[in-house]
Amino acid sequence: MSYIDYLEWRFRNLNEGLSFLLAILSLAVAFIKLRYFYFGAPAIVIGILIPIIAAAIAVVPHEIAHRQTARVYGCNSRFILSFKGFLATLLINLLSRFTGVLVFVSGFTGIFCRFGLMSKDVEGKTAFAGPATNLAIAVISILLLLTLRPTNAYIDYLLSQTYEFNSYVAFFNLIPIPPLDGQKVMKWNIGIWVASIIFSLILAFMPFFIL
């Protein structure tokens, strides 16, 4: 076993809480800024804490939606961190402020059904649950921003970051390339896939026109 394979094995066997934390950080680094002042708010809150909270709101509900949907259909499931995926996500997102590219491939929800069998219907619905949750959170966030127009810097920035993370994670995961959710959703119901990826694109670019 090579050292890379050993690290992959260790990461895949981390407890779920630590796996979630590392996955969240690998996404949050795209927006973490050590020197960042927003409407006079302290940099540690705006530049570090809020991006981590917003990333958590994008990652955890997405994976829990996968997990709980799988369990509804009688399958066991848990979030699994991949060393290679975590490293790629961390490095690419660290450079995102220069490249404009943001990814999330740190881990996945492992699903284990009886006899190792999963129907196309169950697989598609389980896959769609993740990005559908992100889309719902993104819609709630943008509606709160547009209706409340918060003057509090913390609330304003948290809602903005929550919206950005969720709309992008939804779009990225709906790309129909294995092992992303999009391929499974498209195989299950192409109409739902087309509607959801178009909607995620609209959400991703809407702020440029209305905010």
- For 182-208, the pLDDT digits (tens) are 999 999 999 999 999 999 999 987 765
Residue stretches of the chain with pLDDT short of 50: 37-39
Query: Do 81 and 23 touch, CB atoms closer than 8 A?
Result: yes
Among 148, 96, 104, CA closest to 130: 104
**According to the model, what pLDDT value does residue 115 have?**
60
Strand extents, DSSP E, the chain: 76-81, 107-112
**According to the model, what pLDDT value does residue 64 have?**
94
* Cα dist from 69 to 109, 153, 198, whole Å: 11, 36, 23
Structure tokens at 78: 């848990």
**3 state SS of 41:** strand
Query: Do 140 and 134 touch, CB atoms closer than 8 A?
Result: no
**3 state SS of 100:** coil
**According to the model, what pLDDT value does residue 118 have?**
73
Q: What is the pTM of this model?
A: 0.87
- Rounded to whole angstroms, the maximal C-alpha distance in the chain is 57
**According to the model, what pLDDT value does residue 119 have?**
79
